Amino acid sequence: MKKISIVLFSSILALTSASAIAADNQFFVSADVVRSDLDTGVNGIDDTDTSFGIGFGVNLNENFTVQANYQDFGEISGNFEGANVSAEADAFQLSVTGGLPIGERAGVYAEVGIDIWDADLSGPGGSVSDDGTDVFYGFGGYVSLTDNVALKLEYQFHELEDTEIDTLGLGVSFSF
């Protein structure tokens, strides 16, 4: 897993340092409202929550971007063996997207990246924290409202050790 993370991170750095300088450096920021479905693998501690994501990136060309994001996966709560417990997680993400335009103002894309995550589980006996690095992937589509503003809809698949998190996000991005 660490080798994949190092290779992906090295690739992102290489792409941003070489291609971004040669390309038409169009940077962007984004904000998303996200529905997170968390599956902890423990009966009674699975739920959905509404959360958010923010990020920035650079369009390397018409088809490829490099992004850095913060993703809040939200908080879930449930009952495990008679005790109320809650769990929450978030991640710093580095990713690369490859896309195809559909017409002049819309397109679809696929994304692969790494989650550098942190998770907390709380219950009557106290709390436990865990962190790690895992690969995520997803796909989405966008519609450009203007030359600098686009709406996007994306679905991502995350696995933070034994916890699966699927996210559906609706967002807006601003290019400059």
pLDDT band for position 81 (50/70/90)? confident
Instruction: Show the CA angle centred on residue 158, arms to residues 14 and 137, nearest 5°.
Output: 45
Instruction: Read off the pLDDT of residues 129-174 as tens digits, 9 standing for 90 and up.
Output: 999 999 999 999 999 999 999 999 999 999 998 889 999 999 999 9
Q: Is 147 helix (H, G, I), strand (E, B) or coil?
A: coil
Task: Specify the CATH number for the domain of residue 110.
Answer: 2.40.160.20
Q: Rounded to whole angstroms, how far apart are CA atoms 1 and 51?
A: 27
pLDDT at 121: 86
Residue 101 DSSP class:
E
The tally of CA atoms less than 13 A away on the side-chain side of residue 56 is: 5
The answer to whether the predicted template modeling score (pTM) of the entire model surpasses 0.85 is no
Give the least confident one: 9-13, 48-52, 78-82, 167-171.
9-13
Whether the CA torsion 14, 19, 22, 25 is positive or negative: it is: negative
Instruction: Indicate whether 28 pLDDT > 50.
Output: yes
Domain, as residue range, for 89: 2-175
- Is the pLDDT reported for residue 45 higher than 70? no
For residue 47, the model assigns a pLDDT of 80
The number of folded domains in the chain is 1
When mean pLDDT is compared across 84-88, 92-96, 101-105, 149-153, the lowest value belongs to: 84-88
Query: What distance in Å separates the CA atoms of residue 140 and residue 168, rounded to the nearest whole number?
Result: 9
The residues with which 163 forms a beta bridge, in sequence order, are 160
Can you give the pLDDT at residue 13? 46
Phi, psi of 14 (to 5 degrees): -65, -45
The identity of residue 168, as a single letter, is L
Q: Tell whether the model's pLDDT for residue 15 goes beyond 50.
A: no
The rounded distance, in Å, linking the Cα atoms of 65 and 59 is 4
* Predicted pLDDT at 86: 86
What's the pLDDT band for 114 if we cut at 50, 70, 90?
very high
